[in-house]
Amino acid sequence: MSTKTEEKVLKGGEFIILETDFKSNFIPEDLNEDQKMIRSMVRDFVESEIRHRGHKLEEQVSLLEQAASLGLLGAHIPEEFGGMALDTHSNTLISEELGRGDASFNTSIAAHTGIGMLPILYFGTEEQKHKYLPGLSNGTLKACYCLTEPGSGSDALSAKTKADLDIDGEHYILNGQKMWISNAGFADVFIVFAQIDGNKFTGFIVDKGTDGLVLGAEEHKLGIKGSSTRQVFFENLKIHKTQILGQIGKGHLIAFNVLNIGRYKLGTMAMGGCKRSIDEMVKYANTRIQFDHPISSYGAIQYKIAESIVRVVVLESTVYRVSDLMEDKKSQETAMGTGYAAAMLKAAEEYAVECAIIKINGSEVLDYVVDEMLQCFGGYGFSEEYLPARIYRDARINRIYEGTNEINRMLAINMILKRALKGELDLVGPAWAVQKELTGMPSMEIPDGPYGLELRSIREFKKTLLMVAGAAVKYQMDGKHDLKDQQEILMNIADIAIDAYNTESIYLRLMKLRDKGETNLELFEAAMRIFIWDAQTRIIKNAQDALASFAEGDELRIMLLGVKRFSRYDAPNVKNLRRMIALKAIEVNGYCF
């Protein structure tokens, strides 16, 4: 397995076969003073405004305009279009801090700044950019994104909304229906997708007030009740051809590319929500007295606190790692003369796999943390009079929108395999090397460095991934199955990849902290060891399930032995390590990293 040294920017998906130099990896502790000031500003806004009003539908417009006055709506937009084009890390921490606020407002601002604004920034003409982006940045215009239909969700390209060229040759007539449209109730700008000539999937920009634009009633939702969610109808809506967004028949490029950064931001906001939920959990556990002791003194509660923190600190390590990759790619592109918007687009497209991982992991970690928070609150957590009930309901949507987690898992693996088939990602050589290794004696060598056992496990997790994925592809090439029909196997492979990537991310963070001279790393080390031990168990299970789904006989036996060979991390005393983390959180009365 190679080590990245000369080239800082790894390609998307290359984490499977290459190792990152920890010195070039970005960690949260690398944030500079300007970025920390931005974090402080956003946190003040969250605590003073969003937490009090963000869950109310009638407050969304006011809060968006207040966010605009702080520069938050145009933080990713060039100055010529009314923004300030902050670096990727600054935009990441903005999303994280907003995640500490309220999920309804997060839905509103994410839909506006992401899928609402980015299609115009990425694919709009200069005229369209100058017409819309300044208002979208200063909050005088609000945006929404109309893709989903009653019969097309994940299968977006099967949309039935149609756009027929009018007899004047200058306008299109739109007819159709969209649903689950966030911000629809107050939006001024509608990004709409329709079929021209029945099969040319195309984007349009539709202005509020256009004849034929009709809104349904606000949906009654399980959660995020403060966000606006409506159906949008187009009834013989006449729109000039200058409002076409991008190229005719190329709407899929818009629809799919803007979702990459949206997935990244969703996972990042979820991380902020996790930290707030842990704060609420620990504060309550410290004050709730049962049997003459605060419930935070009991091991069962300490497990919930510590396990929540472990999952979040690993998620955070991965989030800022990917933030760094996208920032480096954007800088690399702009240095070569690529425009700002195109560079942003290429960065998000390059790391679509990693963005999907963050979306999946962030949303699922949030679900875990929120569930454990509610459990700590007991009966009070189940009452709508207390905060956990709303947070619990709000969190559930994250596994559905921006592409369901099931779709994202299969998307990530399919992208990796497609890049391998195109020769953009060399999986064949490393996969073949792993197969040959299965027939030899296992190496007992431990890598040099302070965390040699952990590094060995990371390498072996990747070998397991290559072994399972390589065998699954070989069976497809031999005509024994078609992977696109084996979704269970793809899900297994995706989960191995997610665990391998997250494990490497926390390891890289520890190595960077040591390199920076940090000495008090016991909590980080505890989190890393707990996570690697648990990840190893999950990887074994996913690998065994996948292999047993298609291999048989001696081949299956050899590969199952390989799974065992690549699972050699020594069992740590996870009880004591979790207690160490929990006691620190109890001491500081909240998230302790």
CA 309, 497, 103: angle at the middle one, nearest 5? 45
Residue-level pLDDT at 395: 98
74, 111 in Cβ contact below 8 A?
A: no
Residue type, 574: V
- Please state the φ and ψ torsions of residue 310, each to the nearest 5 degrees: -55, -50
What pLDDT digit, counting tens, does each position of 271-303 carry?
999 999 999 999 999 999 999 999 999 999 999
The superfamily (CATH) of domain 411-588 is Butyryl-CoA Dehydrogenase, subunit A, domain 3 (1.20.140.10)
Beta carbons within 8 Å of 300's beta carbon, 6+ residues apart: none
Does residue 142 carry a pLDDT above 80? yes
Is the pTM here over 0.85, yes or no? yes
What pLDDT digit, counting tens, does each position of 229-265 carry?
999 999 999 999 999 999 999 999 998 889 999 999 9
Instruction: Please name the residue that has the structure tokens 């417009």.
Output: 61
What pLDDT digit, counting tens, does each position of 31-67 carry?
999 999 999 999 999 999 999 999 999 999 999 999 9
578, 539 in Cβ contact below 8 A?
A: no
Instruction: Please name the residue that has the structure tokens 């009452």.
Output: 383
Instruction: Please name the residue that has the structure tokens 């300030």.
Output: 84
Residue-level pLDDT at 8: 58
Residue 152 DSSP code: B
Integer-rounded Cα radius of gyration of the chain: 24
Rounded to the nearest 10°, the torsion over CA 171, 172, 173, 179 is -130
CA distance 578 to 310: 8
Mean residue pLDDT across the chain:
95
What pLDDT digit, counting tens, does each position of 520-554 carry?
999 999 999 999 999 999 999 999 999 999 999 99
CATH architecture for the domain at 33-138? Orthogonal Bundle (1.10)
* Pick from 207, 231, 233: nearest CA to 218: 231
Tokens of 156: 């977006």
Q: Give the total residue count for the chain.
A: 593
Q: What integer is the mean pLDDT of 267-271?
A: 98
What pLDDT digit, counting tens, does each position of 460-519 carry?
999 999 999 999 998 988 899 999 899 999 999 999 999 999 999 999 999 999 999 998
Instruction: Please name the residue that has the structure tokens 């207390």.
Output: 386
- Beta-bridge partners for 238: 173
317, 27 in Cβ contact below 8 A?
A: yes
The superfamily (CATH) of domain 143-249 is Butyryl-CoA Dehydrogenase, subunit A, domain 2 (2.40.110.10)
What pLDDT digit, counting tens, does each position of 555-578 carry?
999 999 999 999 999 999 999 999
Q: Which are the catalytic amino acids?
A: 402
124, 245 in Cβ contact below 8 A?
A: yes
Does residue 7 carry a pLDDT above 60? no
Output the CA–CA distances (angstroms, integers) from residue 37 to 32, 90, 94, 273, 569, in the order listed.
9, 10, 11, 20, 41
Residue-level pLDDT at 2: 41
The ranges assigned to domains in the chain are: 33-138, 143-249, 411-588
**Sign of dihedral through CA atoms 107, 264, 100, 43?**
negative
- Beta-bridge partners for 480: none
CA distance 401 to 397: 6
CA distance 584 to 373: 17
